[in-house]
Structure 1
Amino acid sequence: MMPTTPRLRALTFDLDDTLWDNQGVMSRTEAGHYAWLDDQLAAWLAQHPGEHRRFSDVISIERYQAHRQQLARQNPLRRGDFTWIRERALVELLEAFGLSRTSAWLWAALTMPRFHAWRLQVSPYPEVEPLLQSLTRQYRLAAITNGNLAFHRLDLSRHFEVIIAAGEMPAPKPDARPFLATLGRLGAKPAETLHVGDSWKEDVLPAIRLGMHAAWIAPHAEPDPTLPEGVHQLSHVRELPALLAKLGR
């Protein structure tokens, strides 16, 4: 007698570029909080005689981005904690600009809430809200993200029993720990769980290595008939219900 395939009990989701398009969000967020710091710091410096410099004239946004990448390389245990990296980069570059350590920390601390406010301006795909609402009737849902989005502040988060900010553990995907922590909190076995995400490296591979199923959101990839067992290629998250129906789960 052939063993029966376990019924799916849980679905885990990546967020950025899975439930919404993240590229535009990050472009606006990057430019928005940098411009805020540049303007506010210039106004503050203008109150001091002879101080008419602008942060952006000395520290370009490209240098800011490169410095974050350097910090990630220098601090591998923090590489997924994007908030820590971003704030630390601001402090070090503000010091390089000429501020004292105290003033640099103050301005970095003032800037980060603006970053997070911009970061929250996501626009989930129109299908996502009704999709999640429907799925909660049959499955337990969790989110596993490397992003530093304060997801719990979005109304969409109400559909998820578990939300794991993997970079802050600190164990960003593809580390197995955020997946294992999620499975533990859901009380689900890997074979009973499908992970949905857009990254082959950070979503699909760690999921299948643990024995989970995976729905790979790959809008720009050609259909691949040679995918490993348990991996299902989709072009959009809207196709998930059809996949679940096909799997008979």
Structure 2
Amino acid sequence: MTPANAPRLTALTFDLDDTLWANRAVMERAEAEHYAWLDGEIGHANDFPLEEYTRRRMALGLEHPLRRGDFTWLRREAMHAMLRDAGHDDEQAGHWSRAAIERFLALRHELTPFPEASELLDSLARDYRLGAITNGNVDLARLALDHHFEFSIAAGEWLAPKPDARPFLAAMARLGSRPSTTLHIGDSWKEDALPAARLGMQAAWIDVKGQGAPAPVPAGVHVISHVRELPALIARLND
């Protein structure tokens, strides 16, 4: 619950993947199609199937824990090493790994925001300052939703993926807001709701799987099922 004397909200921070669009199918398509494209170019997949590429990325994340959230780096470096093992020299491996990752990123940005997302953000931006904080490697500047936001923080590329407090603190500094006047919106309990609540922010947790929040729900965390419910929640918080 929100205290009766809580200050009015002035700023909103948004997670992106699975908050403003459904992301699983996007990633599955990008993963499969960029790898198939590379196989069509150099015929590597018989010796190094997609599962091996996935395994190498995961191993690289364990080997370099500070880079565990920098997904573009993990993909590029794992693929470069794999192509070297496939017999390509360093220059060729570098060329094809960069080309494949660019292919992946192009596919990764072929996504469709929820139908109400643009109008919702446009309405909210009239009254609140908006920022984005993502652990993913989506580049908001490549999407039509970009103009609604003052900035987007790629927390993994900062080597500080959520639930690290630093991207939240940086976002509030840019927005000129305090924790008590900032609402964070996201679909992850551990990476969105809990870290925001620990900082004293309000948090709108989107229960996309309909599983319900773990008990007890921290003060300041509000459960919704879809981003379309956000205006009603904000109205209650500012009442």
TM above 0.5: yes
* TM-score when normalising by structure 1: 0.91
Percentage of pairs with the same residue: 54
Work out which of the residue numbers 237, 242, 248 in structure 1 matches 2:238: 248
- Per the alignment, residue 47 of structure 2 pairs with 58
When the two structures are aligned, how many residues end up with a matched partner?
236
Change (3 A) 1:3 1:57: closer
Deviation of residue 248 (structure 1)? 2.5
CA–CA separation in structure 1 for the residues paired with 2:4 and 2:53: 55
- Per the alignment, residue 90 of structure 2 pairs with 101
1:128 aligns with 2:129: no
1:6 aligns with 2:7: yes
Superimposed CA distance per residue, residues 147-185 of structure 1 (whole angstroms, 9 cap, x where no aligned partner): 111211212010001210111111111111100110101
- Checking the alignment, whether the CA contact within 8 Å between 1:162 and 1:186 is kept in structure 2 is no
- Per the alignment, residue 237 of structure 1 pairs with 227
Deviation of residue 219 (structure 1)? 2.5
Deviation of residue 221 (structure 1)? 3.1
1:178 aligns with 2:179: no
- Checking the alignment, whether the CA contact within 8 Å between 2:27 and 2:108 is kept in structure 1 is yes
**Match for 2:236: what amino acid?**
K
- Per the alignment, residue 208 of structure 1 pairs with 197
CA–CA separation in structure 2 for the residues paired with 1:122 and 1:40: 25
> Residue 161 of structure 2: SS of its match in structure 1?
coil
Superimposed CA distance per residue, residues 167-211 of structure 1 (whole angstroms, 9 cap, x where no aligned partner): 111111111110011010111001000000000111111101111
CA–CA separation in structure 2 for the residues paired with 1:113 and 1:222: 36
CA–CA separation in structure 1 for the residues paired with 2:158 and 2:237: 33
- Per the alignment, residue 44 of structure 1 pairs with none
Alignment of 1:183-198 (within 5 A): 183-198=172-187
Work out which of the residue numbers 53, 66, 80 in structure 2 matches 1:77: 66
Structure 1: runs of 5+ lacking an equivalent: 42-53
CA–CA separation in structure 1 for the residues paired with 2:108 and 2:207: 23
CA–CA separation in structure 2 for the residues paired with 1:169 and 1:129: 27
Deviation of residue 223 (structure 1)? 4.3
- Checking the alignment, whether the CA contact within 8 Å between 1:198 and 1:217 is kept in structure 2 is yes
* Structure with max Cα Rg: 1
**Match for 2:89: what amino acid?**
S
1:110 aligns with 2:111: no
Deviation of residue 138 (structure 1)? 0.7
* TM-score when normalising by structure 2: 0.95
